[in-house]
Amino acid sequence: MNRALLIAGWLVVTGVAYFLRFEKLETRPMHFDEATGARVTASRMENDGGKFDPKHGHGPMLWNLAATACRIRGEDGWKTMREATLRSVPALAGLLVVLLPLWWRRTFGDGTSLLMAGFLATCPLLVYYSRMFIHEMLLVLCGMAAITALVRGPRWIAAGICTGLMTATKETAAISVIAWVSAAPLAAARRDEIVGWIRAQWRRVAAAVVTALLVAALLYTDGLRHPRGALDMILTFFLYETVPGHDKPATWYLTSLLWPSSWNGAGWIHALLIASAVAGCALAWRPQCATSRNARIIRWLGGATAIHFLIYSVIAYKTPWLACLPWAMLCVLAASAWAWIPKTRAIARATAAALAVAIIGASFTESRRACGRRSGDPRNPYAYVPTRADVVGLADWFEKLRASANPGTMDAAAVIGSGYWPLPWYLRSFATTGYFTEADVGWEGFPVVIAMPDAMEAASAKLAATHVSLPRGLRDGVPMMVFVENELWRQWTENH
């Protein structure tokens, strides 16, 4: 490709990726998992680090990076941290994922590598979760960096470091390692190559494994300050307790992501990407190119992607963000199909270029739609139990209610019932916030009480005479009731 055109292409792709990931990061309501992650991050900041919980916590990478980002922005804890600061960590990770194909140019060529970056930059699933404060985009970055190290060398120590960082990000890194190892034989053109490769490379592979374990252990022990973290890093694969309510049938990824029936526009984009990926893999099996390095890489990557999706489909626990890493691999595979287009056939090249531009343009439009005003739409295939905008409005209204009340009369709030996250994030301005079950005593005296569905009946019975009740919504299908003390309500109505 013309050098100037190539540089311009990379600048455009990088700019688009930055825009999609960083524009108005703070506008979407905080998700359940984002708010709990913010609480963990704040706890580590306020306690100068922390121990790893093998039953409920993912790896410490996200917390550590988020804490650093908050300190850089002058946010020193729970009450001062902001959505945009926390989300900037996965957003930056998502941007770096787009730049990784720069290192693949010598392997796949300038045009194909740029197309890989274009697919990654605009992919709606990757864009959506680059804007969400969860671990997944860091996992994608470390995973794709490990793949890059293997593609370029292989450079085993670098791959080991990246795999160690993956492990320190989330325990599902083990699934990726299983998929990569299981698909390794597909890179061989003959059976005898496998034995020869093992004999030649086993020492380097062993060094990479040791490197990965040391890097992960260093992070899980918080820089060796909590040695028990090294053991907990292993125990988490046996002790981790998933949150109930996420069990799905084996076909869930097919119906919700690969071909979402509830969201017009996403299906055909996904179908074209999948078809391109399948075509790229099929072409890599042709006898005339079976021994080429590119074909070996594509066969391995295609097998690893399929095994990823197979494992995640078999596991009952499913969320859309678990598909982010294999979907990023799918984007790379989809772009690889263009590498096989004969350079001498102008019509084929023009048609392929037009199709690539159409996919990228449609993906950009879909990303804008999914991450814009419909980011919390329950029909959005990328959203998952999203928080309703009603919660953000409730927080703003609390501030207005406080301003209209007598000083000191609205410094405390109570939440009764279960499943209330991300409410604690939006109640940070209260000096005191109590969390109770309906059987507890003491919450009746709070000026503001928020009751979850399992506690609404008890709260209505006890507060009928002292509080005004206002219905609100937390998530789709999850209502809540806000009770405001009569005197507070009187002051508000008099001033408004």
Task: Specify whether 312 is located in the same domain as 343.
Answer: yes
In the chain, the amino acid numbered 258 is: L
Neighbours of 30 (CB within 10 A): 25
Six token digits for residue 236: 């988490």
3-state secondary structure of 472: strand
Which residues of the chain register pLDDT less than 50? none
Task: Specify whether 304 is located in the same domain as 421.
Answer: no
Q: Can you name the residues that pair with 317 across neighbouring β-strands?
A: 247
How many whole angstroms separate alpha carbon 293 and alpha carbon 274?
22
How many whole angstroms separate alpha carbon 113 and alpha carbon 135?
26
Q: Which residue segment(s) compose the domain that 228 sits in?
A: 3-371
Q: What's the confidence (pLDDT) of residue 83?
A: 95
Biggest CA–CA distance in the chain, Å, is 86
Q: What's the confidence (pLDDT) of residue 393?
A: 86
Task: Specify whether 337 is located in the same domain as 396.
Answer: no
Q: Is residue 381 part of a domain?
A: no
Q: Is residue 378 part of a domain?
A: no
Q: What's the confidence (pLDDT) of residue 12?
A: 96
Task: Specify whether 345 is located in the same domain as 477.
Answer: no
- How many structural domains are present in the chain? 2
Task: Specify whether 349 is located in the same domain as 397.
Answer: no
Asked if residue 154 has a cis previous peptide bond (ω within 30° of 0), the answer is yes
In whole angstroms, how far apart are CA 91 and each of 74, 122, 239, 254?
19, 13, 30, 26
Picking from 208, 193, 210, the residue whose alpha carbon sits closest to that of residue 154 is: 208
How many whole angstroms separate alpha carbon 243 and alpha carbon 485?
34
Task: Specify whether 76 is located in the same domain as 185.
Answer: yes
Neighbours of 72 (CB within 10 A): 10
Of 371, 399, 417, which closes a domain?
Answer: 371
> Helices 83-99 & 136-151, crossing angle to 10 degrees?
20
Q: Is residue 376 part of a domain?
A: no
Strands 432-436 and 412-416: parallel
User: Who's near 327: CB < 8 A, 6+ residues apart?
Assistant: 123, 125, 126, 257
Of 338, 371, 404, which closes a domain?
Answer: 371
Task: Specify whether 367 is located in the same domain as 393.
Answer: no
Task: Specify whether 231 is located in the same domain as 349.
Answer: yes
Q: What's the confidence (pLDDT) of residue 259?
A: 65
Six token digits for residue 174: 């083990």
Neighbours of 418 (CB within 10 A): 13
Strands 478-485 and 448-451: antiparallel
Q: Is residue 347 part of a domain?
A: yes
Task: Specify whether 350 is located in the same domain as 394.
Answer: no
Task: Specify whether 313 is located in the same domain as 411.
Answer: no
Task: Specify whether 347 is located in the same domain as 394.
Answer: no
Picking from 441, 431, 393, the residue whose alpha carbon sits closest to that of residue 410 is: 431
Neighbours of 408 (CB within 10 A): 8
Q: Is residue 291 part of a domain?
A: yes
Task: Specify whether 103 is located in the same domain as 215.
Answer: yes
User: Who's near 467: CB < 8 A, 6+ residues apart?
Assistant: 449, 483, 484, 485, 486, 489
Q: What's the confidence (pLDDT) of residue 352?
A: 81
How many whole angstroms separate alpha carbon 139 and alpha carbon 323?
11
In whole angstroms, how far apart are CA 379 and each of 14, 171, 259, 477?
29, 29, 13, 13
Of 321, 336, 371, which closes a domain?
Answer: 371
In the chain, the amino acid numbered 286 is: R
Q: Is residue 85 part of a domain?
A: yes
